[in-house]
Each structure stands twice: as structure tokens, then as C-alpha cells.
Structure 1
């Protein structure tokens, strides 16, 4: 119960849950059609992307936690991250196939492909080091929103230190793991998205 925790730990727990990767990435996916003409009429493509990249993988993860196969829904045990990310990747690839058949906008396809790249990198790094998925997700979202809607969305970047603080308080990651996650999200994943969007567009 949060009521039994000191104030900062309770706040950190709430922030960690509200801004966990499945939620943050789902918002990114829903808004990803804004990167190509037709938005908001194309919003439903983003919803489909969110279902396959976030909702279904998260439901599978919850099932694994309840079955005792995974420690918790944040996959705190680094050794469990590879198999979980691999399973998520399969689900995301199925979703990518569905989106391709539906002729989804280039920005949606590019975003899903960039996420695939991010999942692969997270899985590989997680074999030896507990890089932060929270930091990667919130940073990629904040930077993506600036590209999608303009520089006036810069306040979204303020969420990055907030989420990083929460993970430090909860001792879920070291500062180095959080910094690496932020670089992966803000530079690598967004860079992949922008590059793929230019190629597909």
C-alpha cells in the first residue's frame, strides 16, 4: 500500500506506474499518424499500432507474472528480460504485418519499425546490463512529440528527469543505466523513426 511508504517513495511509485513503458509507448503509437498527412482521420491506425505494440504484450506479461514465470510487470529481474522482449517482438511484428496490409500511414509504420529496433537493442543490452526501459520510453516519447507537433511541446522533456528521479528513488536502476536508456530512446529510437519516415515517405 502506498499509504505505508514515505512521501517520496510513494510519489516515485506512482510516477513509475503512470509512466511505465507500455503506457508511454501506447500514447506514442496512438499519436504517430500525426507524422503524415490525414491526421486526425488516420488516428485509428495509431490505435491498432498501440494494441499490438503495447496492450497485447502487456496483457501477456501480466499473465506471465500471475503464472509465476516473471518476477513483476516491470521485469525487474534482468535475466527475464530477454525472453519477455523476444515474445513482445513477435507480437509487434504481427501487428506490423496487419498495419502493412491495412496500408497504414508511413509515420505509423516507421514508428513501429523504430520500436522493433529499440526492443532488439534493449534485449541485447539486457543480456549483460539492466538498461532502463522507463528512461528509453519517456525520452523517445518526449522527443517524438516535438517532431510531431512542434517545438512548443518542449515541456514534455520535463517528464524525463521526473521519471529518472522516480527510478533512482526506487533503486530500480543506476544513474548510468538511466542515462543509457535516455540516449537509446531520445537518439537511437527517434533517430530510427525519423530516418525510416524519410525513407518510407
Structure 2
């Protein structure tokens, strides 16, 4: 996938109709990392505040923990990063996405600092171990993205979406992966708006999913912050593979199709069938369900994208 990063596919949508561009822009706005973080972290904080099975006699909801975790995530994962993005964009007189790769260093480093402050406060207040670990993942991943951005414009949008999706997968398994079905749609959006090449948009999502899960389980051990009743690491990785397989395949074949390769649709369907067969025999059922849903979502995005995205 990364070997395709130098293929320039940014000019393929010169004739995209205005309606699709507006849809792509709307998707891009609402999936801006500090914005998409708000509803996704709200769900995460609600889950973390639940004690027991809902609608049973032993169920309790810890309102104190919910309020504290929600405030920490809202301030340090959304409000402060968004404030610096808007301030920096206004100062540089550039677009809200700060599309110029070289201009992204300051917002990213401030984001790292914001996440680290949130991590320290969460640790001091003794809130949920999961939130402590997750915010640390955000800080580390943002720092890594900053380093990558010095050489290559990896998509922060897709990274910002899949980071909390990874957390939801750890908490809820395939149910959490449902939000990740936005991933192929977001790839289409960023690609259509010419903000990223296909490889950059795909890579951001893969990075956010894989790194967040691996780091979270690592930090739980290193920091002695155990979290119980999570989906096992192996199953999480299978679910992630099911989620990213079709978007990656679609993206690669789209690039090949753009460069004269024929029969890409037939190849896509054939490889998807083979992937389903492979998952039936080797993967947990949760990953198989995720794979099938991700394939369906990718096909729908492909048909919506038209001939330029298939």
C-alpha cells in the first residue's frame, strides 16, 4: 500500500459534479478529528461509567466518573485541539484543514501537549484506566503523525476517525466497529476533495486502528493500568483486518484502474469472496461479520463515487 504513495491521483475529480463535492465537504467537516471526537468519546465515557449489565437489577451508572471523563476528553481531545487549529488557520490565512503539510507542525505539537495534559490530569484524578491509556495513545500517535507529516501528508482525518473506533472495538467488539464503516466513505471524501492521495487517506485509517489497539494493550501492562472485560487483543486485530481489508483493496484497485489496469471490479469481487472464505475458516465470527459489512459499505461507496472511484 505504501509503495503506491507516489502515484498522483489528486486530479481525477476535475469533473465531479457540485453535489458530490458538497457531500464530500460535509463529510469532511463532521469527521474533522476534534469534531468526530465529541460524539465518539461521549459513547466511550458512557460505556466506562456503566457498572453491570443495563436494564438489570444490579446495574449502576457512575455519574461522577462520567462527568469527569467526559470533561477531560471534551476539553483536551476536542476543544483545545480545535481552538489551535482555528487560530493557526486564521493566522496563516489558510483553509480550516490547514492543507499545506508544512503548516501542520504547530497544531500537531500543541495537540500532543494537550493530550499529555489530559493524560496527567486523568491519572491524578484516578479516572478510568481505559481513558488514561486512550489519551496517552492519542498523545503518542499524534506525535508519530507529526513526524510522518514532515515527509508525507498522511490523513489526519482518517486517523482521527479510526482512533476512537479502535477504542470502541476494544470495548464492544464488532458493535464498536460499526462506526468504522464510515472509513471508506471518509477515504472517498478526502480523495474527492483532493486533500489527499488514495494511499494517504487509507494509511491514516490503518495507522489509527492498529497503533491505538497495540499501544493500548501495551500501556495497560507498562503502566499497571489493567482494564477488564475488554475484547481480547487477537480478536481486536481480526476485527480491524475485517474492517480495513475492503477499503484498502478498493483503494489499490482504484489507483490501478486509473493507471490503465482492466477488470479491477472483477478482481475486487473475487478477492472479497476469497477473504470471506478465509475468515469463515480462520477468523472469529465477530471479524467475519465486520468484514462482510465493510465490503458492503465499500461497494456502496464505490457505486456512489461512480466511474472515477471504482
Same fold by TM-score greater than 0.5: yes
Partner of 1:19: 31
Q: Deviations over 1:60-107 (max 9, x none)?
A: 2212222x2362321211001112211121222222222222111101
Higher relative contact order (CA 8 A, sep 6+): 1
Distance 1:194 1:35, change over 3 A: farther
Which one of the candidate residues 152, 160, 163 is aligned to 2:175? 152
Contact preservation (8 Å) 1:110, 1:196: yes
Aligned to 1:60: 84
Does residue 192 (structure 1) correspond to residue 215 (structure 2)? The answer is yes
User: Could you tell me how far 1:189 is from its partner in structure 2?
Assistant: 1.9
Q: Which residue of 2 is the match for residue 180 of structure 1?
A: 203
Alignment-derived partner of residue 81 in structure 1: 104
Cα pair distance change 1:30/1:70, threshold 3 Å:
farther
Deviation at 1:174, TM superposition (A): 0.5
Q: How far apart in 2 are the matches of 1:99 and 1:82?
A: 26
Q: TM-score, normalised by structure 2?
A: 0.58
The CA deviation at 1:52 is 1.1
RMSD: 2.1
Contact 2:105 2:146 in 1 (8 A): yes
Matched residue, 2:234:
none
Alignment partners' CA distance in 2, 1:93 and 1:154 = 26
Question: 1:155-181 CA deviation, whole Å, 9 max, x = no partner?
Answer: 222110011110011010011111211
Q: Which runs of 5+ in 1 are unaligned?
A: none
Residue 86 of structure 2 aligns to a residue whose secondary structure is helix
Matches of 1:14 and 1:96 in 2, distance apart? 31
Q: Confirm or deny: 8 A CA contact 1:13 1:166 kept in the other structure.
A: yes
Partners of 1:61 and 1:156 in 2: CA distance: 25
Range 57-66 or range 149-158, more displaced: 149-158
